[in-house]
Structure 1
Amino acid sequence: MDTKILLEQCQLVNFQKGKKITILGAGIAGLVAAYELERLGHEVEILEGSPRIGGRVWTHRFGNSPDAPYAELGAMRIPSEHEMTLHYVHEMGLSDKLCKFMTVFEESNAMMNINGQVLQMKDAPRVLQQTEGGIFSDTRYSEKTRLFAAWLKTIINTIAPGNLRSEFERDLQSHLMDELERLDLNPYFSEDGETIDLNSFLTQNPSFRAKCSQGLDIFLGDIITETSHDLLQLKGGMDQLIQRLAASITGEIKCNSEVVALRVQFDHVQITYKENGQLHTRRCDYVLCTIPFSVLRKMELSGFDDDKLDSIHNTVYCPGTKVAFHARESFWEKNGIKGGASFSGEGVRQTYYPSVKFNPERGSVMLASYTIGDDAQRMGMMSEQERFDYVQNTVSKIHPELNEPGMILDKASIAWGNYKWSAGGCTIHWDEADGSASYLKAQRPQNTLFFAGEHCSRFPAWLQGSIESAVEAVYDIVKHKPALQSTAIPVAVTVSGKNRQLAAVGSAW
């Protein structure tokens, strides 16, 4: 739904102003919801378990100066069609910061490591044909079909987690080559006939996706977005959106307030949270929970119906791991690389280069490794130092400059699958029987307990999903008619961590 229309509808149903809402989580969903609820005349308070705001928007800055280079350890791009995200970029006065994000396969000089052979990405499919043979040298199919298939495999190998790479291999061998042979592939090759426009191909040929396995079909839908030539970013860091939203909210944002129990009652929600080693329990008229289900399922939950508990415990999360290097200089530019991403091979997967300029006196930053799925899980199991060493060793095979003394000035990483406050990179629908319809179960409220976040949306893994679900939750809250006139949100109980029953709740962490 259009952002303006949805916000206008919130105004129309806002017949009972002055509600008091406790929001759990200070990620972008919680902040957007707080911002809109306050604009509608309601009172909000945000409890955030971690020491920081932003959730899975995390800009890591290598230095304290305003022009310090940075890496996005979380969300790093905005599709141009994600109008809800762009609405808040404009609303927060950040329109002048929007600029192009050069994504994977947009830089023809990017590198690829295939079984130890380092070459430019544009040459990879030809090499794949020569080294693998098999279906790629099967003369039953035209040269165009074989080259196109080799490009598809190159792209899938670069982006997809291991299980989907295997699914694509099976589908290709069994029937996808026949489907490619049937289609007119000429419009999707470049003028020199060596590269393809995957985005246009997938958009204009839904029949191809329909013949893929369900998980692969859903993933290819994600690739349409990820390989778009119209991706955007915020120059200066995505966390600018978080900071502007937080500054626009008058209600208190309390970090280090870890929720450990939610008890749904007929006309209120009782929450228990831990702060400074103390457990506090309070009664709340309305609660908006933006905590990922991967974290929520570890809490004490009562008063939830069975379908909701099933959604909470069975929503699938995909791990994601990122490793960034602060480099003395942007040495990759000497190879003509201005942005985009290389495929460094092994478990490192994608290596992204900045498509914004940093002050050369302060060096530059490469996102040396961005992995999802099984690759991310393996790296997440390493210690941080092991992870740094592994990534440096792997990426230096395509960029030996990394091993020059003093080239790497600093490093940063995050394994979202092991991060206490997310326990996953994002929700996925690739292996769910009912596909994306699961988000409808995730967003369904329990009396006066409402839900928002990317797991409650049609756009998992994107800011758009978190924002849209937040505005929809705002609509549901403001139109809700209380069964009984509730009081304010007083502190009901404050107990020490020695209370046997409540202390047992906290031990789940």
Structure 2
Amino acid sequence: MILDTLKIPYEILEANDRIGGRIYTHRFNGDAGRDAPVNDPARYDYIDMGAMRYPNNFFMKRVFKLFERLDMDDILIEYKYSAPNTFRLYNGVRHNSADQSDLDIFNVSEAKGGAVPDEYVVKGVDDVSSDIFKPFAEAFQTLPFNEAWKKLAAYDPYSTRGYLLSKGYPDTVVEWLETFTTATGLYDDAFVESTMDAMDFANAKAAYSWYCIDGGSDNLTTRMAQRLTSQPLIGRRVTKIASVPGGGAMDVTFGKHFIFISTKRYAQVISTVPLGCLAAIDIPQNDLSYMKRMAIRCLNYDTSTKVALKFQSRWWEDPKIMGDRTIKGGVSSTDSPIRTCVYPSYGFHATGKVSGVILASYTWAQDAQRMGGLAQAKGSDADKLLIELTLKNLSELHNVPVEKFGPLLDHYVHNWHNDEHARGAFALFGPGQFGQPSSGNSLFASMKAPGANGKLHIAGEATSVHHAWVLGALNSAWRAVYNALGLLPDAQTKRTLLEETWGIPDEEDCKALLKLAVLGNHKVL
């Protein structure tokens, strides 16, 4: 879309048999659901296996501007991040959000036989967690992005666990915070990541702060594709990218279903391939610096596994099963293997009965690795174990016998590390991988600098500071195009048009990008 506004011709080569990448909507009823109008019950027989919710906070303005550009007001609806009557089940204790509770309902304090010092439990996990990230959140709200980033990046050498321990938090408090606020093992990743994540999930100052897309998130990428002058070429897996002799262009070799199709010549290449897949593409030594090759191999990706179950009906909304504590939207959480259960925020105004599709388990990090180990072929022994475990945990979480759920009609499981077109859920860097502001050769900076003498540009959310969000992909696309324009004879005119039409992402500084381009051309980055 950006290239269209700049009147620059292009081709899009897509390895998958669908567009969207990690925006992926699975419809149990196939095209019948895709084509159904708003409020038709058939429309709501789906689950978003990738991006599914959009916070309207100060970081995400560019995403909502894209929604406006695509006229998506008709299908942008409230995402109920929280809702009445949801459950938490930790340390063997189940609690419904409608019930009153003491400060230590889950018996984690030392006074109740747990291991967390009482003063932390009295304050509460949310307030303790908020205080950790508050100074950085205030910096991003009051300072220019680059200044706030420098303040945060000073702690990039730390994992979240290491940072908290260095500040005097007891290890039992660190484990308590990780268990109740995120995924198992996620505190071993960079403190910078935890801070950005905490701010991304902060409440927005809007009529309501979270949104989702009625009918599935792939409506976003479908509408984007409909605006393009050149439609994506589906099923074209790139196997090689190389500068031509003399360095004036790039040759791209691609095939379909493991059969060679063609080698085509392009002036420049923008790669949005996830880094795990990019590592498998043949790129000559001279076209990528040492730092870029290191970054492609080393930058960390997190794991995510989603388990969707399709029941005959939405039993969690049925008073006959849930009594006066029916659930519409929101999230329930637990320390059992399924970890997080997400209820649909859509289909409430359907003209008839909708199917009972629920995201029964949404996991990250080590939790996702363990669930993902069972995410094998449908009908396999591992798959049967996964469904058995999910139903058992779901029953325990809701205090409802499995038999009362009604018939399980279908299920769908997706582990993003097992996806051949992703090989990881999203970037989530380890300590030190963003790099210090004073460093001239960080792995992250190398991803933002052009390769192949300015003709190869690596984009995707891994090359933005906003990992795992559509915003990261948008910002990286802007930066890749900005860099690519540098080789055009009317570079300044095009860059001015780019800035006027699409603005400048908060995380980008045009002068800094020019310096990175010089370093990239000299293969420093």
Say yes or no: TM over 0.5: yes
Return the match for 1:226 from 187, 191, 201.
201
1:352 pairs with 2:345: no
Return the match for 2:86 from 110, 113, 117.
110
CA-atom RMSD in angstroms: 3.3
Alignment size in residue pairs = 403
Using a 3 Å threshold, how does the CA distance of structure 1 residues 414 and 176 change in structure 2: closer, same or farther? same
Using a 3 Å threshold, how does the CA distance of structure 1 residues 112 and 251 change in structure 2: closer, same or farther? same
Q: CA deviation at 1:216?
A: 4.2
User: More deviation in 441-450 or 473-482?
Assistant: 473-482
Structure 1: unaligned runs, 5 residues or longer: 1-34, 156-165, 181-197, 199-211, 484-509
Q: Is the 8 A contact 2:339 2:362 kept in 1?
A: yes
Q: CA deviation at 1:250?
A: 2.1
Partner in structure 1 of residue 184 of structure 2: none
Q: CA deviation at 1:130?
A: 5.6
Q: Is the 8 A contact 2:189 2:428 kept in 1?
A: no
Partner in structure 2 of residue 263 of structure 1: 242
Partner in structure 1 of residue 71 of structure 2: 93
Aligned residue identity for 1:373: A
Partner in structure 2 of residue 60 of structure 1: 26
* 2: CA distance, partners of 1:297 / 1:124: 52
Q: How does 1:101-140 map to 2 (within 5 A)?
A: 101-103=79-81, 106-121=82-97, 123=101, 126-129=104-107, 133=112, 138=117
Using a 3 Å threshold, how does the CA distance of structure 1 residues 46 and 213 change in structure 2: closer, same or farther? closer
Using a 3 Å threshold, how does the CA distance of structure 1 residues 410 and 285 change in structure 2: closer, same or farther? same
CA-to-aligned-CA distance 1:312-371 (integer Å, 9 cap, x gap) = 111111011111122322222332322211114322111011122353513232111111
User: Secondary structure at 1:43's aligned position in 2?
Assistant: coil
* 2: CA distance, partners of 1:169 / 1:339: 35
Partner in structure 1 of residue 135 of structure 2: none
Q: How does 1:255-404 map to 2 (within 5 A)?
A: 255-265=234-244, 266-279=247-260, 280-302=262-284, 303-333=287-317, 334=322, 335-358=325-348, 359=350, 360-382=352-374, 383=376, 384=378, 385=383, 386-399=385-398, 400=400, 402-404=402-404
Q: How does 1:433-452 map to 2 (within 5 A)?
A: 433-434=433-434, 438-446=443-451, 447-452=454-459
* 1: CA distance, partners of 2:365 / 2:123: 26
User: Secondary structure at 1:175's aligned position in 2?
Assistant: coil
User: Secondary structure at 1:301's aligned position in 2?
Assistant: coil
TM-score, scaled relative to structure 2 = 0.69
Q: Is the 8 A contact 1:79 1:225 kept in 2?
A: yes
Q: Is the 8 A contact 1:135 1:173 kept in 2?
A: no
Q: Is the 8 A contact 1:129 1:137 kept in 2?
A: no
User: Secondary structure at 1:95's aligned position in 2?
Assistant: coil
Using a 3 Å threshold, how does the CA distance of structure 1 residues 171 and 125 change in structure 2: closer, same or farther? farther
User: Secondary structure at 1:86's aligned position in 2?
Assistant: helix
Aligned residue identity for 1:393: K
User: More deviation in 420-429 or 402-411?
Assistant: 402-411
Aligned residue identity for 2:336: E
* 2: CA distance, partners of 1:343 / 1:172: 26
Aligned residue identity for 2:293: L
Q: CA deviation at 1:292?
A: 0.7
User: More deviation in 85-94 or 400-409?
Assistant: 400-409
Q: CA deviation at 1:39?
A: 2.4
User: More deviation in 109-118 or 290-299?
Assistant: 109-118
Q: Is the 8 A contact 1:429 1:435 kept in 2?
A: no
Using a 3 Å threshold, how does the CA distance of structure 1 residues 219 and 108 change in structure 2: closer, same or farther? farther
* 2: CA distance, partners of 1:480 / 1:313: 28
Q: Is the 8 A contact 1:263 1:269 kept in 2?
A: yes
Q: Is the 8 A contact 2:253 2:263 kept in 1?
A: yes
* 1: CA distance, partners of 2:314 / 2:449: 48
Using a 3 Å threshold, how does the CA distance of structure 1 residues 170 and 38 change in structure 2: closer, same or farther? closer
Return the match for 1:463 from 458, 470, 474.
470
Q: Is the 8 A contact 2:306 2:359 kept in 1?
A: yes
User: Secondary structure at 2:62's aligned position in 1?
Assistant: helix
Partner in structure 2 of residue 429 of structure 1: 429
CA-to-aligned-CA distance 1:465-491 (integer Å, 9 cap, x gap) = 1011112222222342379xxxxxxxx
* 2: CA distance, partners of 1:450 / 1:475: 10
* 2: CA distance, partners of 1:136 / 1:467: 44
Using a 3 Å threshold, how does the CA distance of structure 1 residues 473 and 393 change in structure 2: closer, same or farther? same
User: More deviation in 465-474 or 389-398?
Assistant: 389-398
Partner in structure 1 of residue 156 of structure 2: none
Q: CA deviation at 1:304?
A: 1.2
Q: Is the 8 A contact 2:109 2:121 kept in 1?
A: no
CA-to-aligned-CA distance 1:450-503 (integer Å, 9 cap, x gap) = 1211011121100001011112222222342379xxxxxxxxxxxxxxxxxxxx
Partner in structure 1 of residue 146 of structure 2: none
Q: CA deviation at 1:149?
A: 4.0
User: Secondary structure at 1:96's aligned position in 2?
Assistant: coil
User: Secondary structure at 1:126's aligned position in 2?
Assistant: coil
* 1: CA distance, partners of 2:466 / 2:405: 43
CA-to-aligned-CA distance 1:233-279 (integer Å, 9 cap, x gap) = 11221111111111111213111111112223422222221125432
Q: Percent identity?
A: 26
* 1: CA distance, partners of 2:161 / 2:103: 16
Partner in structure 2 of residue 189 of structure 1: none
* 2: CA distance, partners of 1:276 / 1:214: 36
Partner in structure 2 of residue 411 of structure 1: 411
Partner in structure 1 of residue 494 of structure 2: none
User: Secondary structure at 1:311's aligned position in 2?
Assistant: helix
User: Secondary structure at 1:57's aligned position in 2?
Assistant: coil
Structure 2: unaligned runs, 5 residues or longer: 131-158, 174-180, 182-186, 437-441, 491-525
Q: CA deviation at 1:297?
A: 0.8
Partner in structure 2 of residue 22 of structure 1: none
Q: Is the 8 A contact 2:196 2:466 kept in 1?
A: no
1:175 pairs with 2:168: yes
Aligned residue identity for 2:96: Q
Q: CA deviation at 1:91?
A: 0.9
* 2: CA distance, partners of 1:173 / 1:248: 51
Q: CA deviation at 1:410?
A: 1.9
Partner in structure 2 of residue 72 of structure 1: 48
* 2: CA distance, partners of 1:480 / 1:111: 56
User: Secondary structure at 2:417's aligned position in 1?
Assistant: coil
Aligned residue identity for 2:276: S
User: Secondary structure at 1:362's aligned position in 2?
Assistant: coil
Q: CA deviation at 1:47?
A: 0.6
Using a 3 Å threshold, how does the CA distance of structure 1 residues 474 and 407 change in structure 2: closer, same or farther? same
Using a 3 Å threshold, how does the CA distance of structure 1 residues 170 and 109 change in structure 2: closer, same or farther? farther
| RCO higher in structure (CA 8 A, sep ≥6) | 1
Q: Is the 8 A contact 1:263 1:271 kept in 2?
A: yes
Partner in structure 2 of residue 205 of structure 1: none
